[in-house]
């Protein structure tokens, strides 16, 4: 029979705490306090509870007769590696929101609320505060409430100074107003809304190009902006202008230009019998994308299937509505251009032709 071991180790006699294991609960509490005023600015009338509870409570507005919930989730990807290297943390939170709310917007949904997941090895409260301030700023741009999230401090899971982000958006759309793209037909017009830059896609290639070309990231690149400013510019959030447009005319389809670029995202909203002919001379590709193509020796079509190339959102409307749509979006502060037309598909050709 085994005898009990009465020998206590130094660690046992000293007594371990969660802080000794690498988790600082006081830092977590401080982060929550830091972000409360920013989250408060995002509140909507439907929100029944604030930051700090076990779950966020949100009711659906009575203005909807047959409400349908639309949800989306995304991250920021390897753009975060540049955020760590450049010590720029105030824009990636906007990226996080933009990637999810723009996705649910294309089905006609009004974003209601957003949740974030922030994971790190050791919590850096100032850096985390900057990230979550960015998330709150993105929510303000989208008109949705930041109702909660999770901060996970997990020693040993991430290198020092690094973190990961995930975001979750929920919106609502009247069932009769869901945008499916099913009514898109030959003769419809394809509009392109300008992006802020590369947004949050293609950054594994961006980083590879930087590694190869070794540029001065802090030198002036585009006017007064440095190359780092241009590369880290946050995802443009198109929610408010497009929700406004939906109130005045019929949007037949929308495509958020994310991973897969223009080439692979536009077909996601097209019926199988049509093609979007995109004229690549119809808009001015921003300097960043010319630089990436030249420094990386990237083929033209590879650019269009990797990056947004200056078009962050595609909107498809009837030809009769195109002029009004362009005018209204420009009045709302967007740069928008007619970039193509819808035509009948020939056989099994790719449904986006950029040339």
pLDDT digits (tens, 9 = 90+) for 108-127: 999 999 999 999 999 998 99
Q: What is the pTM of this model?
A: 0.90
pLDDT digits (tens, 9 = 90+) for 79-108: 999 999 999 999 999 999 999 999 999 999
Instruction: Give the residue extent of every domain in the chain.
Output: 17-177, 189-354
Where residue 2 falls among pLDDT bands split at 50, 70, 90? Answer: very low
Task: Point out the least confidently predicted range of 35-39, 136-140, 322-326.
Answer: 35-39
Measuring CA to CA, how many Å separate 250 from each of 25, 27, 297, 326?
51, 49, 41, 13
Which residues contact residue 8 at a Cβ distance below 8 angstroms, ignoring those fewer than 6 apart?
A: none
Rounded mean pLDDT, 203-209: 97
Strands (DSSP E) contained in the chain are 67-75, 110-120, 145-153, 163-174, 189-194, 220-222, 225-226, 253-256, 274-278, 311-317, 336-344, 352-354
Rounded mean pLDDT, 278-305: 96
DSSP letter for each residue of 2-60: PPP--PPPHHHHH---TTTTT--HHHHHHHHHHHHHHHHTT--TTB---TTSSS--BPP
Query: Is the Cβ–Cβ distance between 144 and 101 less than 8 Å?
Result: yes
- Structure confidence at residue 20 (pLDDT): 60
- How buried is 315 (Cβ within 10 angstroms: 0-12 exposed, 13-18 middle, 19+ buried)? buried
- Structure confidence at residue 13 (pLDDT): 54
pLDDT digits (tens, 9 = 90+) for 274-290: 999 999 999 999 999 99
Arithmetic mean of pLDDT over the chain:
91
- Structure confidence at residue 48 (pLDDT): 87
Say which DSSP state 158 is in: S
How far is residue 156's CA from residue 266's CA, in Å, rounded to a whole number? 41
Rounded mean pLDDT, 263-271: 97
* Homologous superfamily of the 189-354 domain (CATH): PurM-like C-terminal domain (3.90.650.10)
Token pair of 326, please?
């362009």
Task: Point out the least confidently predicted range of 54-58, 194-198, 253-257.
Answer: 54-58
**Percent of the chain's residues with pLDDT above 90:** 80
Predicted confidence (pLDDT) at residue 42 exceeds the cutoff of 90: no
How far is residue 133's CA from residue 42's CA, in Å, rounded to a whole number? 11
Q: Nearest-CA neighbor of 129 among 140, 143, 116, 142? A: 116
Task: Point out the least confidently predicted range of 10-24, 68-82, 173-187.
Answer: 10-24
- Structure confidence at residue 11 (pLDDT): 46
Token pair of 353, please?
């032709």
**Percent of the chain's residues with pLDDT above 70:** 90
Predicted confidence (pLDDT) at residue 319 exceeds the cutoff of 60: yes
Task: Point out the least confidently predicted range of 30-44, 110-124, 157-171, 195-209.
Answer: 30-44
Token pair of 55, please?
């779950």
Residue in the structure block whose two tokens are 């991250």: 75
CATH among 3.30.450.20, 1.10.1040.10, 3.30.1330.10, 3.40.50.720 for 17-177:
3.30.1330.10
What's the CA dihedral at 92, 96, 102, 107 to 10 degrees?
170
Predicted confidence (pLDDT) at residue 8 exceeds the cutoff of 60: no
């Amino acid at each position: 029979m085994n005898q009990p071991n009465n020998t206590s180790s130094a660690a046992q006699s000293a007594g371990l705490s969660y802080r000794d294991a690498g988790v600082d609960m006081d830092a977590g509490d401080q982060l929550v306090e830091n972000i409360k005023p920013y989250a408060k600015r995002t509140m909507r009338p439907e929100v029944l509870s604030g930051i700090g509870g076990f779950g966020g409570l949100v009711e659906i507005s009575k203005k909807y007769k047959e409400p349908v919930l639309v949800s989306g989730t995304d991250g920021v990807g390897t753009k975060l590696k540049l955020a760590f290297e450049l010590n720029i943390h105030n824009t990636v939170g906007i990226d996080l929101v933009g990637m999810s709310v723009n996705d649910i917007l294309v089905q006609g949904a009004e974003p209601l609320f957003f949740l974030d997941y922030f994971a790190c090895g050791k919590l850096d409260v100032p850096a985390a505060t900057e990230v979550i301030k960015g998330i709150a700023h993105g929510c303000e741009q989208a008109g949705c409430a930041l109702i909660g999230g999770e901060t996970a401090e997990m020693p040993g899971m991430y290198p020092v100074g690094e973190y990961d982000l995930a975001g979750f958006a929920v919106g609502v759309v009247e069932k009769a107003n869901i945008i499916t793209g099913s009514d898109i037909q030959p003769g419809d017009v394809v509009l392109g809304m300008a992006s802020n830059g590369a947004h949050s896609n293609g950054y594994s290639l961006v980083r590879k190009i930087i590694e190869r070309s070794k540029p001065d990231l802090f030198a002036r690149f585009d006017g007064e902006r440095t190359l780092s400013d241009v590369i880290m510019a946050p995802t443009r959030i198109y929610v408010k202008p497009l929700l406004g447009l939906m109130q005045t005319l019929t949007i037949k389809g929308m495509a958020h230009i994310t991973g897969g670029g223009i080439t692979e995202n536009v077909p996601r909203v097209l019926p199988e019998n049509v093609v979007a002919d995109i004229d690549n001379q119809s808009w001015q590709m921003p300097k960043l994308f010319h630089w990436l193509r030249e420094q990386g020796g990237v083929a033209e079509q590879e650019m269009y299937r990797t990056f947004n190339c200056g078009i962050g959102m595609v909107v498809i409307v009837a030809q009769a509505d195109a002029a009004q749509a362009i005018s209204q979006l420009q009045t709302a502060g967007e740069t928008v251009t007619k970039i193509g037309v819808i035509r009948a598909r020939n056989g099994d050709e790719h449904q986006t032709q950029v040339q």
